[in-house]
Amino acid sequence: MKTTLIAVLIIALAVLGFMYYKQDPIPTGTVPSRNGDDGVVCTMDAKQCPDGSYVGRKGPNCEFSPCPTGMKVEVNL
């Protein structure tokens, strides 16, 4: 009886572990939507670009926007 109970617990833990492992991964920087739709809500973190500006996350995978590559124009008045 005791051996059967231990075997059932081991099998149950194995099944639960497999189910957890097979879940679809959530992309980095995303938060699951709570309103029931399939949309994604991106986190509000930012990345600093080499020119000192900041960009946020956007798109379905919540990837950081590209840093600006345009030349800076300095105007002296």
Higher pLDDT, 51 or 22: 51
Residues 18, 34 contacting (CB under 8 angstroms):
no
Token output for 39: 């949309």
Mean pLDDT of 17-30: 64
Higher pLDDT, 76 or 37: 76
Of the candidates 34, 29, 18, 37, the residue with the CA atom closest to the CA atom of residue 55? 29
Is 27 strand, coil or helix? coil
- pLDDT on residue 58: 87
Question: What's the CA gap between 37 and 40, in Å, rounded?
Answer: 9
DSSP secondary structure letter of residue 68: P
Mean pLDDT of 5-29: 75
Question: Looking at this protein, which amino acid is placed at residue 17?
Answer: G
- pLDDT on residue 32: 59
Higher pLDDT, 74 or 48: 48
